[in-house]
Amino acid sequence: MRNNLKEAVTINKRKLSRWMFVSFLFLLALTGINSTMIRPRADLKKIIINGYSQGTTYQVTYYAADSIVSQKQTDSLLAGLDRSVSLYLPTSLICQFNRSARGIAIDEPFLVLVKKAMEVNRNTNGCVDITVKPLVDAWGFGVKKPDSFPDAARVKSILKNVGPDKIWLQGHFLHKKYPQVQIDLNGIAQGYAADLLGNLLESRHIYNYMTEIGGELRIRGHKPNGDPFKVGIEAVDGNDIMPSPLRKTITPGDGAVTTSGNYRKHLEAGGKQISHIMDPKTGYPIQNEMISVTVWAKDAITADGYDNGFMTMGLKQTLLFLARRTDMGAYIIYKKTDGAIADTVTNGFKGYHPN
């Protein structure tokens, strides 16, 4: 009897073991985990891809067992986006739209960007407006440089073709109110490009990466040893003209980080800096206390969409806008009334560690 009981216990243990193993395989199937995802981290290699797109450089860093995504693939993806929304490519859809009398049919990337820009425009009370291209050109920040800055009469004339009511979508057709209406998606397209690169990696089951284009970042996962990806934020000197050594290093985790600032893109006139960021309501480059805004959000199209808006809104309005948000945050460098450089951070800004 004792032997029979022992044998029954042994059989039950074997059945339990088989059941646990089958259950484990079933769990893997349900969660989508495959053998490449549970491979020991020591097997993962650091893969870096460098390239050029949208008038700037890009870099993709990811960890995988092999070189699963190639530069040919990333170049092809970004070239497709350029054919859609690059102002430097005369045959692009955006250039076709800007030359059109009443609008054109647009592709999916173009549609995504326009919809997001319209959403940000509404949420920032018009501080972000993609119809500012004529202003950008007039103030010397477009593809072609003017001989002089516009006077008040010229600015007033340009503003007749600027505003959210000057364009509207009907399906995939983007309409314009007047032939002179032109749009510029450069303030949001690089963030979207970083997202597209991240999506490409994830479609190949790569979940530990950092993509960067023009300084705009999309991040997921961590390094094989468990360390998080680190991001440096530049400081500026007392004249807020030249970058200084890094002011902060953050570990934002999953999400996106983008920066907008006046210290890299500006012109000089009468001893004053002329910002590349246009105020779509006044028609003039912004002039306020803001030096730079670094934004964290869940995706780069959102972070990049809002960073210029925060620069235009100014410190007080930006802090009010972000006060209760946990899905977005900002690290802000600004100039105080006495000329001193200061900084502040909102609660929703991820990975910030005070000194």
Secondary structure letter of residue 300 according to DSSP: H
Alpha carbon distances (Å) from 98 to 94, 103, 163, 182, 233: 6, 8, 15, 5, 35
Q: What is the pLDDT of residue 1?
A: 45
Alpha helices in the chain (DSSP H): 2-31, 71-85, 93-99, 108-123, 133-138, 152-159, 186-203, 300-313, 315-322
Q: What token pair was written down for 263?
A: 């210290």
pLDDT tens string 66-115: 999 999 999 999 999 999 999 999 999 999 999 999 999 999 999 999 99
Q: How far, in Å, CA of 3 to CA of 287, rounded?
A: 90
Tell me the angle at which helices 71-85 and 186-203 cross, rounded to the nearest 10 degrees: 150
pTM, entire model: 0.84
Half-sphere exposure of 277 (CA within 13 A, CB side): 27
Question: 38 or 54, which is more confident?
Answer: 54
Q: What domains are defined for the chain?
A: 222-345 (3.10.520.10)
pLDDT value for 141: 86
User: Among the residues of 140-298, which ranges form H helices?
Assistant: 152-159, 186-203
Contact between 69 and 60 (Cβ < 8 Å): yes
Q: What is the pLDDT of residues 194-210, one digit of tens each?
A: 999 999 999 999 999 99
